[in-house]
Amino acid sequence: MTLADDAITWFDKNARDLPWRQPDTTAWGVLVSEVMLQQTPVVRVEPAWRSWMTRWPTPADLAADPPSEAIRMWGRLGYPRRAMRLHACAVAMVERHDGQVPSDLDQLLALPGVGTYTGRAVATFAYGQRHPVVDTNVRRVVSRAVEGKPDAGPTTTAADLVAMAELLPDEPARAARASIAFMELGALVCVARSPHCPECPFEAVCAWRRNGSPALEGPSRKPQRYAGTDRQVRGLLLEVLRHATGPVPRQRLDGVWNDDVQRARALAGLVEDGLVEPLGEDVFVLAGDGPRVPPQAL
């Protein structure tokens, strides 16, 4: 038995019943889930994913709406640029792939905002291909079980992809199953703090356990603070714009935060990121809600 075999056996018994893992989930549904799950817990993503897929079951459905609607539907998931990226992906798929999510990895990676992880995740989980899919959870499992280290580095490297690829079975469908199994292990059992080692299928062979479960050297990574940050102010500004029925004057936005400098910086950042459009100097709308320029005027 290999680590992959053990992981698959564990996964078959313990996997969470998530909607984007159902057999009838489309590649678009997988892509939406992967983008939403970046830096957002499953409990918050699941209802948002269901609402999104009900409204926009295909890329063409989303592409037909302005990006402002994607930002509104994103709600309070956080990091709303992800909504813009999904909209840009949908438009690109309509233009390049007849409204379909491509199965070719290079074509996936060429889509707006699709990086190393997301492209491989869609190719693997939606199309059953054999690719190393490496996120924080997977890197932690491999680091502990194979390398005997308490954790991996902060970012995915080429070496991480190689290490994961070496653990995958040769048969593509089984390799895809192993990929999601390693990820689930990292999310539920081999967690960053207080891992549940007695529940882990790797407990008897885990190099980290054999080494005495050494603690991470150096300072631990602290959760990112939210209260009082520009992220919080950006969220408050977007909340006003999402619920507005027309252009919003600056005076109304001024009421969401007392610190004039921080509020102005947050608003400027939203404009720079393309989430908000200024209409003149002191009026704002969500991206895509501004007046349309007729083609003959271009």
In the chain, how many domains are there? 2
Q: Are residue 206 and residue 240 in the same domain, yes or no?
A: no
Q: What is the domain extent for residue 42?
A: 3-211
Q: Are residue 17 and residue 117 in the same domain, yes or no?
A: yes
Burial of 106 (0-12, 13-18, 19+ CB in 10 A): exposed
On whether residue 18 sits in a domain, the answer given is yes
- CATH code of 17's domain: 1.10.340.30
User: Given this model, what pLDDT does residue 152 score?
Assistant: 82
239 is catalytic: no
Q: Are residue 259 and residue 197 in the same domain, yes or no?
A: no
Q: Are residue 48 and residue 183 in the same domain, yes or no?
A: yes
Catalytically annotated residue among 34, 69, 184, 277: 34
On whether residue 257 sits in a domain, the answer given is yes
Which among 62, 55, 75, 46 has a CA at the least distance from the CA of 101? 62
On whether residue 164 sits in a domain, the answer given is yes
Query: Which pair of tokens denotes residue 113?
Result: 């905002």
**101 pLDDT higher than 90:** yes
Residues 6+ positions from 284 with CB-CB distance below 8 Å = 241, 247, 248, 250, 253, 267, 271, 276, 277, 278
pLDDT above 90 as % of the chain: 86
On whether residue 128 sits in a domain, the answer given is yes
Q: What number is the average pLDDT over the span 219-236? A: 81
Q: Are residue 202 and residue 155 in the same domain, yes or no?
A: yes
Q: Are residue 118 and residue 257 in the same domain, yes or no?
A: no
**298 pLDDT higher than 70:** no
On whether residue 46 sits in a domain, the answer given is yes
Q: Are residue 174 and residue 71 in the same domain, yes or no?
A: yes
Inter-residue contact 121 to 108 (CB < 8 Å): no
**218 pLDDT higher than 80:** no
On whether residue 124 sits in a domain, the answer given is yes
pLDDT tens digit string along 241-274?
999 989 999 999 999 999 999 999 999 999 999 9
Q: Are residue 140 and residue 12 in the same domain, yes or no?
A: yes
Domain-ending residue, one of 177, 211, 245: 211
The one-letter amino acid code at 162 reads: V
Q: Are residue 29 and residue 125 in the same domain, yes or no?
A: yes
User: Given this model, what pLDDT does residue 57 score?
Assistant: 98
d(CA 194, CA 41): 18
d(CA 98, CA 108): 14
Q: Are residue 127 and residue 249 in the same domain, yes or no?
A: no
On whether residue 184 sits in a domain, the answer given is yes
Q: Are residue 123 and residue 162 in the same domain, yes or no?
A: yes
On whether residue 289 sits in a domain, the answer given is no
pLDDT tens digit string along 155-183?
888 999 999 999 999 999 999 999 999 99
Q: Are residue 183 and residue 257 in the same domain, yes or no?
A: no
The confidence band for 77, taking pLDDT boundaries of 50, 70 and 90, is very high
User: Given this model, what pLDDT does residue 217 score?
Assistant: 67
Give the three-state DSSP class for 249.
Answer: strand
Global confidence as pTM: 0.91
